[in-house]
Amino acid sequence: MTTAQTSKPASKPTTEPRLPLEGVDVVLADLDGVVYTGRNAIPHAVESLNEAAKSTRIGYITNNASRTAATVAEQLSGFGLAVTADDVVTSPQAAIRLLQENVAAGSTILVVGGDGLTSVVEGAGFTVTRSAEADPAAVIQGFAPEVGWKDLAEASFALAKDIPWVATNQDWTIPQERGIAPGNGTLVSAVHTAVGKLPLVAGKPEKAIFDAAVERFGATKPVFIGDRLDTDIIGANKAGIASILVLTGIDQAKQVLAAPEGSRPDFLLADLRGLLQPYPATIEGAGAEGARTFTVGTSRVDLRGNRVIVVERGETRVDLLRAGAAAVWGSGLMIYGLDVDPVLYTE
């Protein structure tokens, strides 16, 4: 199986109460911003995933190409999760599938990246080089903290020839303990600027990594948890997999409200405790003078023409955001065509 067979809702957000994991046979979780930030576990993530694992298979997907699946599994185990290397699908693993489709077995490959990438390339029977003078058959590029100008230059020199270029991912940023740092997308962009061509991309938001995960775990109705719309959610949606955005990483209220169709999640959670809690219905109704009302729990947001107005803040911040997103997404207008109450994104 290479594609997920799922029943995604016809529209978002929900109109009836449901459990995020109802009917799900595999939970696929991103790592950075979902399970941990740098070396620190995110509050409530470990205990929530352990509880979900009692009834549902848990797999992990990461665009981070700097570490091996075994190293990732070791870190996750250190947090208290029951994880083996087979439970982790990395963007280098998906990238190898693209390499195998485009170059001959045993070819010499110029690698820009760390051990997480070189080990997978060598494990697939390719020969690794760091120099364009070795006449590589392709270039594969992934993030590692030690990647520098010389590495990017070698890739650029090699790509002067018409050879395949595979990028593990194009994430612009990576959440770290000290803040947000540049990701592999910035390094790929530097090479793109030099050579004037674009790579084949294996990681999110492309389908290759989702297909690899679905095949690995034999999933028939998976759900994917991510912290960013531009890679995690749009990628899951394109792959036909139900999507959950958790607000513990990159994207927050502003990004949720502005999300275009195609990058909107099926579920919006404050943290992973929401996996195990009933997901409230979004109730749309009619208000005074033609207003449309959107109520989630005790939160209510009205759409009056092009104005999105908070009427009741309610008991939880996430319910207010769910109601606000319902109003914005239900307007049929782009965010810049709306006058949005700042309460929705400034508190």
Rounded Cα distance, 42 and 2, in Å: 31
Contacts (Cβ under 8 Å, ≥6 apart) of 342: none
Please list the helix, strand and coil fractions of the chain in percent, rounded to the nearest 5, in that order.
Answer: 35, 25, 40
- Sheet with 307-312: strands ordered across: 282-286, 292-296, 299-304, 307-312, 339-340
Say whether 302 is catalytic.
no
Say whether 135 is catalytic.
no
Of residues 25, 30, 135, 339, which has the active-site annotation? 30
Contacts (Cβ under 8 Å, ≥6 apart) of 186: 172
Do the beta carbons of residue 26 and residue 219 sit within 8 Å? yes
Please, what is the Cα angle at 296 between 291 and 299, to 5 degrees?
75
Rounded Cα distance, 130 and 144, in Å: 14
Of residues 25, 32, 115, 271, which has the active-site annotation? 32
Rounded Cα distance, 120 and 118, in Å: 5
Contacts (Cβ under 8 Å, ≥6 apart) of 26: 56, 57, 58, 59, 214, 217, 218, 219, 221, 222, 223
List, by residue number, the catalytic residues. Answer: 30, 32
